[in-house]
A and B are shown apart, each in its own frame.
Chain A
Amino acid sequence: MSAITIALAGNPNTGKTTLFNALTGAHQHIGNWPGVTVEKAIGQLKKEDKTFTIVDLPGTYSISAYSLEEKIVADYLQKEKPDVVVNVVDASNLERNLYLTMQLIEAGAPLMIALNMVDDAKQKGMQIDIESLSRCLGVPIVPTVASRKEGLKDLVERFSPAIATAKAQQAPALSDYLALAESLRTANDEDSLIEGRYHFISQVLEQSVRIDGPQEESFSNTLDNILTHRVLGIPIFLGIMYLMFEIAFSWIGKPLQDLLDDWISGPVSDFVSESLVSLGVADWLQSLVVDGIIAGVGSVLAFVPLIFTLFLFISILDGSGYMARVAFIMDQAMRKIGLSGKAFMPMLIGFGCSVPAIMGARVLDSERDRRVAALIAPLMSCSARLPIYALFTALFFTENETLIIFSLYVLGIALAILMGILFKKTILKGESEPFVMELPPYRLPALHTVLIQTWEKGKGFLIKAGTIIFSMSVVLWFLSNYNFDGPAEMQDSFLAAIGGFIAPLFTFHGFGSWEAGVAVLTGILAKEAVVSTLGIVYGIGELSGDAVDAATQLMPVAQVHFTALSAYAFMVFTLIYTPCMAAMATLKKELGSWKWTLLGAVYPLVLAWLVSLVVYQVGLLLGFGG
């Protein structure tokens, strides 16, 4: 017997995803809806002899096709015809939540209601007569508290198409309403239809819900008065962000990154290398595995703790309701780029790592905005570029390091803004999305949900990026160890030849040497590879991890090949050009097409070439050439 398909539909912030996670546990798969960057979560639930396939539909307030999510939900219900639609309703926010319910009832879906967060409703003094509510709406209702797994057993027990379609003895008011709605739809009177729904809802609530005692100022509102305060709001926000980056980088990211780095380049490499030797494997294969694959994959793997930590924070901020406040606070500023306040967080995350930044773009309302945000996010100077800046400023700008690095960050932001505006005015133009956003009550996010979200996002990155990084590592290893005559030293390799071939492109940038060309190429694999490549091509070998020590090692050769001005032009180039492989893999995953991914790879390259050229040439004119 085929599985019964259960679709979860409901407003955002109703605990829909928490319910989905609680029902499916580890048996779930998260991806994108075909062609669009809206999350598609499907899970399995086995109960006795039955298997349920549970589909978590995107959270929507209605199914009137105002947004991509709404279109997806509407299309899904119409075309896939799930056996049961479970409408997850926030009991403490019934009036607005029932709007979607009314649309689902009108659509004739085999409906059940999971009346979630009944504990919150009780706390608000709401007495809900579930019997009466169920009768008024003609739909079976199960009260639940998904975050504490209460009521889930009852819900699952009633997962049956027969129960969902068997209309409870339909109240006459409902029949009247449905007839009216039908005629309004025929008359195409959308406004009256919407008013009719809310009118019916208020009648239902009058019959089924009693509110005891006066409504007092909730804890959520008190907290909100502080967190979005006119004066304190922005400083508090900056403080939270600072703390987040401090924890992600200084406390967790950096130490674990160093640890992983040491571990991979030390014991892991040694062990594999020794094993290969004792197995009598050919030299070239040893080199491929150790110098190519382990080194290449390892350099990116070292970023995994940082990426996971950032995902963890994003999930917590999102689940707590604070993310919506960030959008509220920053909307006015972000509007200048033609994006909404919701785009601020992903951009900010970009300073940590482009991967979560690109993935964060999916919170935006329209596909167009998502694309713009994903395309410009890599321009925010990520942490992997910092070693490059650190090295070159230690080489050439010991007097004003901070100013130089700061200027690069500002340049990245400025270019992101410019490109954002440019994209919105050219290939991604259209009416800008209205900013209409719920500010959900603050909640303690459910640990289970936070962990699952973090893991799913991180896993997505690992798999997707892993395969691309793996193959790129192999290709780069081959190019740097071979030429047409067979095995070769780096300076005689294909890579050096290619580096030499592209070097003339940078003649007027001040860094037109094959060494710089090679460094630029490996930087596409991972930005921090630029520094280690410079060490190799300049014949120094392993550079010190400390920028000042590395600078001392590089000083003699670097001063032959670079001036302060060309070093700055080089940093500008590495800031802007093609994002790293991991980011590209994420772009492919999020944008869903090679065409857009290619644009994401090529436009930064052209932009980097132009801006870096201008920087160098203007610098020469201004007399900074020495």
Chain B
Amino acid sequence: MKTLKDIKPGQSAVVDKVMVTGTAKGRLMAMGVLKGATIRVVKVAPLGDPIEVQIRGYNLSFRKAEAEQIMVI
């Protein structure tokens, strides 16, 4: 099973399942991180966390802890 954390900067994947829980889940989903959405990892922050992704034509940042719980294909 691959998670978004395994995707290297510059590569894209398709979201399969959002396993995130709590308030982060609602926020990520409202921002469009949903099953079927194409997500491209843009870069990792200089200190190693969080990550920057491109989704639905805009740039979004969240932490690796969340990325780890987003299953991708």
Contacts and interface: CB of A to CB of B under 8 A. Distances in A.
A333 B61 contact: no
A61 B30 contact: yes
Contacts of A440: 58-59
Given A95-B56, A95-B57, A194-B34, A436 B27 contact: yes
A329 B47 contact: yes
Contacts of B22: 431, 434
A334 B64 CA distance: 15
B59 to A, nearest CB: 4
A435 B61 CA distance: 8
Nearest to A65: B26
A332 B49 contact: yes
Interface in A426-465: 431, 433-441
A195 interface: yes
Nearest to A93: B58
Interface in A87-129: 93-96, 99
A622 interface: no
B29 to A, nearest CB: 5
A435 B34 contact: no
Contact of B48 (A93, A190, A332): A332
B30 A234 contact: no
B43 interface: yes
B73 to A, nearest CB: 17
Interface residues of A, number: 43
B60 A437 contact: yes
Given A93-B58, A194-B34, A434 B46 contact: no
Interface in B30-48: 30-32, 34-35, 37, 42-48
Interface stretch (A43-51, A224-232, A306-314): A224-232
A329 B46 contact: yes
B3 to A, nearest CB: 17
Contacts of A67: 27
Interface in A32-75: 61-62, 64, 66-67
Interface in A333-347: 333, 335, 341
Majority secondary structure, B binding face: mixed
A334 to B, nearest CB: 10
Nearest to B64: A332
A94 B57 CA distance: 9
B59 A439 contact: yes
Contacts of B61: 324, 328, 435-439
A228 B42 CA distance: 11
Interface string B48-67: 11101000111111110010
Interface residues of B, number: 32
A228 B60 contact: no
Contacts of A409: none
A224 to B, nearest CB: 8
Interface in B8-39: 22-24, 26-32, 34-35, 37
Nearest to B28: A436
A66 B30 contact: yes
Task: Count chain A CB atoms within 10 A of each CB in B29, B32, B34, B52 and give the residue with the most.
Answer: B29
A191 interface: yes
A387 interface: no
Contacts of A436: 24, 27-28, 31, 60-62, 66
A397 interface: no
Contacts of B27: 61, 66-67, 434, 436
B62 A332 contact: no
Contacts of A335: 49
A190 B18 CA distance: 13
Given A64-B26, A191-B29, A433-B23, A328 B45 contact: yes
A435 B24 CA distance: 8
Contact of A64 (B30, B48, B60): B30
Contacts of B47: 234, 329-333
Given A195-B35, A434-B22, A233 B30 contact: no
A340 to B, nearest CB: 9
Nearest to A190: B26
Contacts of B30: 61-62, 64, 66, 99, 194
A525 B31 CA distance: 46
A67 B30 CA distance: 12
Interface in A192-247: 194-195, 198, 221, 224-225, 228-231, 233-234
A191 B26 CA distance: 9
Top 9 nearest A-B pairs (CB, nearest first) are A434-B24, A332-B47, A62-B30, A439-B59, A95-B56, A233-B46, A436-B27, A194-B29, A332-B49
Given A96-B32, A431-B23, A438-B58, 5 more contacts: A61-B30, A194-B29, A228-B45, A434-B66, A436-B62
11 contacts: A66-B26, A95-B57, A96-B32, A225-B43, A228-B45, A230-B43, A233-B46, A335-B49, A436-B66, A438-B59, A441-B58
Interface of B: 22-24, 26-32, 34-35, 37, 42-50, 52, 56-63, 66
Interface of A: 61-62, 64, 66-67, 93-96, 99, 190-191, 194-195, 198, 221, 224-225, 228-231, 233-234, 324, 328-333, 335, 341, 431, 433-441
